[in-house]
Amino acid sequence: MPQFDILAMGNAIVDVISSESPEFLSSRGIPHGSMRLIDAAEADALYAAMGPGREFSGGSAANSVVGAAGLGARTAFVGRVAADQLGGVFTHDIRAAGVHFATAAATDGRPTGRCLIVVTPDGERTMNTYLGACQELDASDLDAALVADAGILYLEGYLWDPPAPRAAMQAAIKVARAAGNKVAFTLSDVFCVEGHRGDFIDLLSSHVDIMFGNENEVKALYRTDDLDAAMAELARHACITVVTRSEKGAVVIGGGQHWEVPGERVARVVDTTGAGDLFAGGFMAGLVQGRSLPDCARMGCISAAEVISHFGARPEADLKALVARSLA
């Protein structure tokens, strides 16, 4: 039996959340409700200006394995942080969540990546992201023995763009394949798909066992506005494909079969950040427990519903208990 059920490789980012007035944004020329990339100088200045808030480890794949750990999976994460204050925050927080994290902090290069999230009284989130050190992940960060000792290798599309991290993930795929382990991949975002369509289709064709994407991402993958046409293309691949559909739930294709799983009811949607991440974590946790594909999708929907009921991309309720009540 592998030491870990799921090993994820992805962007290691610290989420910093602070409540501020609308004037805090307008005085700095930051569009209210925007999502933007910023440079190191602006990241430092904005971080210094923000009031007291919460800091915790983030990043898409990291969120997924934290969710899976909350459901009992043995998880690990590979991602690069710097040997600085926020690198320490990331390391402590993800380990405290039950995820094995042993990637050495970089002593040179860019500072630790961070997403500076300003929440205004109307509940809107303005996200300012400095990617920093996480985009410098390379093959030297890869522990081949760790990859070989994980039942599922999970990769995020966000990290496919920079050449060095992409090469590290390609090397990890080869190690996982040689060890007879499964490879899972998330498309991450439409802009990732648009930039790497050929690579992603190649991954689906011959390198990936499980693929996650939302409706817009899979339509972008096949350059169509017709979801049914995109689903028909996905069905041609041998891998398990999972398409999330927001409140409508998810569609799962695998083994020549097709399932539509409804979403979970949520009394009030507070923040959709991390919904896809937690869905993937819940789905993979179901897989390692030997559940059916529809039940894996239900676990994903339960996990996603919990995380959108509050601010932040980390579960606050007991996911095991929620699943036990729904899938007794």
* Structural domains of the chain ordered from first start: 4-12+59-109+133-326 (3.40.1190.20)
Q: What is the pLDDT of residue 328?
A: 66
Distance separating alpha carbons of residues 53 and 51, to the nearest angstrom: 6
Q: What is the pLDDT of residue 122?
A: 83
Evaluate whether 114 touches 38 at the Cβ level (below 8 Å): no
Which residues make Cβ contacts (< 8 Å) with residue 160, sequence separation at least 6? Answer: 166, 169, 188, 192, 196, 199, 200
User: Which residue shows structure tokens 């990769």?
Assistant: 155
Distance separating alpha carbons of residues 84 and 72, to the nearest angstrom: 31
Residue 110 token pair = 């860019």
Q: What is the pLDDT of residue 125?
A: 81
Comparing C-alpha atoms, which of 193, 157, 192 is closest to residue 61? 157
Distance separating alpha carbons of residues 99 and 44, to the nearest angstrom: 28
CA count, 13 A, side-chain hemisphere, 52: 0
Evaluate whether 80 touches 106 at the Cβ level (below 8 Å): yes
Beta carbons within 10 angstroms of residue 27's beta carbon: 10
pTM of the predicted model as reported, rounded to 2 decimal places: 0.93
Stretches in the chain below the pLDDT threshold 50 = none
